[in-house]
Amino acid sequence: MAGFIERAGLNVLFRFDPETAHRLAIRGLSLGITKAPPPPPNLRTRVLGLDFPSPIGLAAGFDKNAEAVDGLLRLGFGFVEVGTVTPLPQAGNPKPRMFRLEADEAIINRLGFNNDGAETIAARLAARKPGGIVGVNLGANRASADRIADYVAGVDRFARIASYLVLNISSPNTPGLRGLQEAESFEALLLRAVAARDEAANGGTTTPLLVKIAPDLDDGALEAIARITVSSGIDGVVVGNTTLARTGLTDGRRAAEAGGLSGRPLFQRATIMLARLRKLIGPGLPLIGVGGVDTAEAALTKLLAGADLVQVYTGMIYRGHGIAARINARLAQLLAERDFASPEDAVGRETDRWAAMPLPG
């Protein structure tokens, strides 16, 4: 559990509306005052050709503009994913557009890719001292006439700055964006993005390229995604984004807000989707499991269901900035208790069980 100071900090932040609280948190974290102990050595894991000090990372959307990367890494996260970044800056949807469902430890957001744009964010990342694993999550501008071209531009701009890249085609808050998950568009996007990534490497080391999908896909769509993912030369999949589902919520008033739901109520759905994708693609291709993780037990479950790496977002809002360090310490114990020498040993041990579960709702 969070300590006294952390709980007091959360109480103060929860008095502000969610976006103001978020801005204050980013401001505080950018000062980089808190420093967690380094993750225990048995959490080290090699995925995507990168050496992660911990498999627990911060999911995209928290530090959209790369303003607090070093402060966030110092909290004990094994990696931080910034963005979503679009080629041009954009303001996003009208406010209010972010809602806390406190009884459910959930958030509904319809921010709509508010961000400073690729040039500003690339300059910010290029100015920091190298160190730590920093992924860049890429998106398309709402008004773009050629969305695939926006992703290609993002790959061009960030391939030599980012530790890894993610094509985010699963935000529910940019109308039509999720259509890029349909087989034909999905294949066109992946092929063009892989080509751009390879070209940027210019014969040198290529930057790992992943795609982030929704947890709301039916079996047919997931099968097509698995098939095209494997044939396209892409390096991994992030499963997944926020959900449009509203099952298991006690806060009926907030549940009616439009947008994507994240946090505890997403855990079951996102973990089942992760396991189903793992089963379809087999071992080997890296998967990042994200959705509803707020404890080491939940993080271990993601590994067992088939994730190589795990990300957290909403869990940090409700449990505080110490969450990464707490998950690290306890996950190291849980792995040792089961005689797993490293996170890799746990990956996929319970894929079949999770893949067979019915989706909630």
Ligand X SMILES: Cc1cc2nc3c(=O)[nH]c(=O)nc-3n(C[C@H](O)[C@H](O)[C@H](O)COP(=O)(O)O)c2cc1C
Residues that bind ligand X (CB under 6 A): 59-61, 64, 83-84, 98, 107, 109, 111, 137, 168, 171, 212, 241-242, 262-263, 266, 290-293, 312-315
Q: Which is nearer to ligand X, 45 or 173 (CB)?
A: 173
Kindly provide the residue ranges of all beta strands, DSSP E only, lying in 173-332, ordered along the sequence.
Answer: 209-213, 236-239, 260-263, 287-290, 309-312
Query: Which lies closer to ligand X via its Cβ, residue 30 or residue 295?
Result: 295
Is residue 342 annotated as a catalytic residue, yes or no?
A: no
Of 292 and 322, nearer to ligand X (C-beta) is 292
**Smallest distance from ligand X to CB 340, Å:** 23
Report, in Å, the least distance between residue 290 CB and ligand X: 5
Closer CB to ligand X, 98 or 255, in the complex: 98
Length of the chain: 361
Cα Dmax for the chain: 54
Exposure b/e, 170-181, CB count within 10 A at least 16 = b: bbbbbeebbebb
**Dihedral sign from CA coordinates of 172, 177, 179, 185:** negative
Number of CB atoms found within 10 A of residue 120's CB? 14
Residue type at 278 in one-letter notation? R
Closest-by-Cβ residue to ligand X is: 61
Q: Rounded distance, CA 138 to CA 85, Å?
A: 5
Q: How far is the CB of 348 from ligand X (least distance, A)?
A: 21
Active-site choice (144, 163, 170, 171): 171
State whether residue 108 is helix, strand or coil: strand
For 314, other C-beta atoms within 10 Å of its C-beta total 28
**Shortest distance in whole angstroms from residue 41 CB to ligand X:** 25
From the CB of 82, what's the least distance to ligand X, in Å? Answer: 9
CA distances (Å), 78 to each of 276, 304, 344, in order?
25, 19, 15
Nearer residue to ligand X within complex by CB, 109 or 144: 109
Radius of gyration of the CA atoms of the chain, in A = 19
CA nearest to 74, candidates 41, 33, 27, 40: 33
Instruction: Provide long-range contacts, Cβ within 8 A and 24+ apart, for 249-254.
Output: 249/101, 249/104, 249/106, 250/103, 250/104, 251/101, 251/102, 251/103, 251/104, 251/106, 254/99, 254/100, 254/101, 254/108
Ranges of H-type helices in 74-202? 118-127, 147-158, 183-201
Closest distance to ligand X from the beta carbon of 339 (Å): 28
Q: Which is nearer to ligand X, 48 or 60 (CB)?
A: 60
Catalytic residues: 171
